[in-house]
Amino acid sequence: MRLDRFLSGQTAFSRKELTAMIRSGAVTVGGAVIRKPESQIDPEQAVVTLRGEQIAYAAHHYYLLHKPAGVITASRDPKQKTVLDLLRPEDRLPNLFPSGRLDIDTEGLLLITDDGALSHQMLSPKHHVAKYYLARLAEPFREEYTELFRRGMILREGDGEELCQPAECRAVSAHLAVLELHEGKYHQVKRMFAAAGNHVENLLRVGIGELRLPPDLASGSYLHIFNKDVYSALRNSDISEVCAFCAEYYSSYWIKDCK
C-alpha cells in the first residue's frame, strides 16, 4: 500500500496535507524518515509515525454514537447539523457514513463506519437483523398491541398502503414499550402505534442485534469500538432480554415517574 494512502485512511488530513508532511520529513517508517508519498509499505506490519505519533492501522473504523434529537442522519448537509459533525475533527476519517438512519427527533444507537459490507449485512432485509426501540407512549400500553404488531400491520400513506413485517412489542411499564423491528420504513414505530390508537412521545433506539446503547454514554457522545464488537450487531437478541435491559437502565430516561 502507498504510504500516502495508508495515512489518508487512518487520519483526518487531506491527501494534499499528507503529501506535504511526508515530503517535509514528518513521517517515519520503521524509524527511518520517508519523504516519498508513493513509497510502498505493509500496512499491518510497518511501524509508521506522523509528527512523532504512531499511526495504528485498521482496515475499517467503527463509532457507536448516541444520536441526540435535532441532528440529522447524514454525512453532510449545507444547512443542518449532521451526525458526522458530532465527531471530533481528528476522527472525521474519509469514507465514514452513518449505517442506517434515525429520524431527526429520534435518539439512540447509531453506528458510523466506513465498512460498507458490514453495513449492508446489518441493514439488508434478507439478513433480518433486529433493531430495538424504546417508545414512550402518550396513552398506557395495551396488551392487544403485542398480537396486533406480531400479525404485521398495514400502514396507509396517502392513497396507498404498505404492509409491515411482523414485529414484537412488549411493555416495560405503563407508558414504556420495547419494539423489535426487522425493517426500517419511514417513521415506522410512530406510524404503527398511531395506527393502534396511541402516540409516541419519545423514541430511543437501544440496540441493534446484540449491540447495546451503553447506559453511561451521554447523548451526543460516541465510542470507538472494534470489529469483534461490531459483529455482535448481526446476532439477534431475545426481546425479553432487551426489555430487562431497558427496565434496568432506561426506564427513567425521559421522566423519573414512568410507572
Q: How far is CA 104 from CA 126, 163, 203, 250, in A?
A: 26, 24, 11, 20
Q: By three-state DSSP, how is residue 233 classified?
A: helix
Catalytic, out of 42, 85, 91, 103 = 103
Residues 6+ apart with CB under 8 A from 46: 6, 29, 30, 57
Q: Which three cell numbers stand for residue 128?
A: 433480518
Say how far apart CA 67 and CA 204 lie, in whole Å. 9
Q: Provide the greatest CA pair distance for the chain.
A: 69
Helix (H) or strand (E) holding 146: helix 144-151
Q: Is 85 a catalytic residue?
A: no
Q: Point out the residues that are catalytic.
A: 103
